[in-house]
Every structure is written in C-alpha cells, then in structure tokens.
C-alpha cells in the first residue's frame, strides 16, 4: 500500500462523511455549470425569437367604418369584406352584451366612439400579431 493510499484511509476514518461532502460539492459545481449554460442558451433563443417577431411586418390596410357596436368594437369594410373589429388597448364597459345589463359609463364610452368613428370614415388598420380574439373579432 502506498503512502497516499494509507493517508487517504486515515482521513476517511477520521472524517467518515467527507466523501459525501466532496460528492455534494462536485454535484453543485456540475449543476451550476449546467444551469449557467441553460440560462445562456435560453437568453440567446429568446433574444433571437423576439428580434424575429419585432422585424415581422404586419399588414396595414385602409378600411371604411360601417358602424360602431360599442366603445371598443366596430364593424369595418376591409379589403371588400365586412369585419367585426376589436380595438386593441381600448377596454370599455359593456353595452351590447346579450346576458348582462349596460355597465356604468358604457353609454358614454359608446357615444365617444360613435363621435370619433362616424360611418364612412376612412381609418388605417394596423393588425396585431394575433389575428383574432376568442369571439373571432379581428384585433386591430
């Protein structure tokens, strides 16, 4: 038996938990490196995907207002088709919901949208990344 092996056996007898501690430290170091590599990879992937979406050209069209339904929903003639459109970023109280009563200030919001978007008004439509909402309204 070599001197090194003899000393190692003496150390292990004196400190029986030392192999476990060494294994834990090695595992932590291994996990830290894997987590760091995973973090760097995900950061690069998210940057590439967000820059690709940012460069995506969404169609801009000119449409004609047919009528206003309520404060955030309008019917437009877009490329010859009639589309029900939901205005993104505008959230008004409901006035035309079939099962709910008119909500507070819903009439005022609807009146404002009526005053701004009169029938036959030409509007520029900029579409969202998601084309439609759950009610199949075009998101613009």
Active site residues: 86, 94, 137
Strands 60-70 vs 122-126: parallel, antiparallel or unpaired: antiparallel
Strands 138-139 vs 73-78: parallel, antiparallel or unpaired: unpaired
Residue reference for tokens 């701004």: 116
The helix/strand/coil state of 12 is helix
Yes or no: say if 51 and 43 are a contact pair by the CB < 8 Å rule. Answer: no
CA distances (Å), origin 44, targets 33, 47, 129: 17, 5, 22
Phi, psi angle pair for 91, to nearest 5°: -130, 105
Angle subtended at Cα 76 by Cα 73 and Cα 79, rounded to the nearest 5 degrees:
145
């Amino acid at each position: 038996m070599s001197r090194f092996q003899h000393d190692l056996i003496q150390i292990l007898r004196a400190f029986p938990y030392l192999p476990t501690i060494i294994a834990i430290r090695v595992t932590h170091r291994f996990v830290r490196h894997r987590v760091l590599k995973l973090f760097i990879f995900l950061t690069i992937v998210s940057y590439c995907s967000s820059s690709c979406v940012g460069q995506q050209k969404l169609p801009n069209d000119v449409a004609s207002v047919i009528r206003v339904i309520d404060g955030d929903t309008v019917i437009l003639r877009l490329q010859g088709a009639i589309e029900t459109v939901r205005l993104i970023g505008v959230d008004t109280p409901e006035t035309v919901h079939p099962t709910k009563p008119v909500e507070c200030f819903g009439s005022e919001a609807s009146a404002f949208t009526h005053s701004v978007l009169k029938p036959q008004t030409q509007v520029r439509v900029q579409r969202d990344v998601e084309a439609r909402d759950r009610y199949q309204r075009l998101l613009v």
